[in-house]
Chain A
């Protein structure tokens, strides 16, 4: 049932797209066929794989740092209340602000390179990792802590045996959401500044009026992000099997 519905939705989407290309909305609007052909050509020429590889560097660097720094930071904020109270303010600001406004600042500070894209990816994604790790700790059932204390658990045991596993579902949900934000940050960074990566390919195709190539790159980016998100969701489901 779900499978049939999914297939139907894809078909409907492609039909809608084909129709939109024929209307035409504008002379520049590429048809599904032209986009697919451009996609194949871009993969064959090596332009798309090369751009993907560069984007992947920024993504892994920025998102990896967001997870590696964000999770411990959020946990500390959750466990040490004063740190949490202070940190929350910055977190709320980072989440509420239009983060793209920080891009020029980052370029000024780091220059135009893979590192600055990575920094932007980090700024986009880290707040959500931190926020969820923090929230996960805050949501630990006090009764479970009491139970472990009744067994004379040490502080370290409380943390590793109760707090961490209790917070894990929220931490993982935060990581998954942060990954989608990381993709947004990546493309924003590359659209705005960098002479490389997928965003660059989108911009250069646009400026050359190669709209089928532009669309193909956008489609490729969506597939890339979708696959990465699905992979993370899979890991999440595996780690949280007990909830099924």
Chain B
């Protein structure tokens, strides 16, 4: 089973590019996505944004191999996606934690499924928990943690398997504003330490601009790529006062002007 373990030497897994080519998806009579093309560069932080119902979560799930595309193709690195793969981790909006397991056991979950032995599992999970700033809460159950802390467990679980691609589905949507800002800074800090390709689905314009290298705007049903915006804000952003700059305000406003026309 050890051979299945991705990035056995933790911390060395290089990020992978993602190519989405002409992907279409319908649910019954509802056309969710039509001819979507997205290229995510290796190590890039890319956001998907659009009006609700534009299929951005569906697109993320297709990338994760959780939902099959009707037409088109997704490639992660060299692998054509036909199902979930070991190089990807997903972070869910509602955290998707196991209520019967402690934070430690939740973070170990991906490693457990991949057959990592118990000692290595425990050590790597502890490391991931420390990384997301939850050291000391290893033995807490999800119900004993706040929403923000639960999502930190969700992020630690995703990072523990040392993925080369991190797919995040509105990870901050269920978290209050103050917690969210701190969490976003921590995420950027983590990302600068271990480069991963990140695809983030969000409906927050500020979040998309603050975190991303590029923002892909999807049009409402059926979802298509409407426009792709570059975010030329210098990094690291988490240390400074980027949110207060005129440039940040200008970029958010530019994104808003694009989105407003789509409503």
Contact = CB atoms under 8 A, between A and B. Distances in A.
Interface of A: 143-144, 146-153, 157, 161-162, 165, 168, 240, 242-243
B100 A150 contact: no
Contact of B109 (A143, A146, A149, A151): A151
B96 A147 contact: yes
B161 A151 contact: yes
Nearest to B4: A152
B96 A143 contact: yes
Interface string B59-100: 000001110000000000000000111101110101010111
Contact of A152 (B86, B92, B98): B86
A151 B112 CA distance: 10
Contacts of A144: 96, 98
B98 A151 contact: no
Contact of A150 (B66, B98, B112, B141): B66
Give the interface size bracket for B toward A: 20 to 34
A149 B112 contact: no
B113 A153 contact: yes
12 contacts: A143-B92, A143-B94, A143-B96, A146-B66, A147-B90, A151-B89, A151-B109, A161-B109, A165-B98, A168-B100, A242-B143, A243-B99
Contacts of B141: 242
Contacts of B86: 152
Given A151-B89, A243-B99, 8 more contacts: A146-B92, A148-B113, A150-B64, A152-B86, A152-B114, A240-B100, A242-B99, A242-B143
A151 B113 contact: yes
Nearest to B64: A150
Contacts of A152: 83-86, 113-114
B229 interface: no
B171 interface: no
A111 to B, nearest CB: 45
Interface string B137-159: 00001010000000000000000
Contact of B100 (A143, A148, A165): A165
B110 interface: yes
Nearest to A154: B113
A147 B100 contact: no
B205 interface: no
A155 to B, nearest CB: 12
Interface in B84-135: 84-86, 88-90, 92, 94, 96, 98-101, 109-110, 112-114
Contacts of A148: 109, 113
Contacts of B100: 165, 168, 240, 242
Contacts of B90: 147, 150
A147 B101 CA distance: 14
A93 B89 CA distance: 46
Contacts of A143: 92, 94, 96
B96 A151 contact: no
B171 to A, nearest CB: 13
Contacts of B109: 148, 151, 161
B94 A150 contact: no
A22 to B, nearest CB: 53
Nearest to A153: B113
The 9 closest A-B pairs by CB, nearest first: A147-B96, A150-B90, A152-B84, A151-B110, A242-B100, A151-B113, A143-B96, A153-B113, A242-B141
Contacts of B114: 151-152
Given A151-B84, A152-B86, A146 B96 contact: yes
Contact of A161 (B66, B96, B113): B113
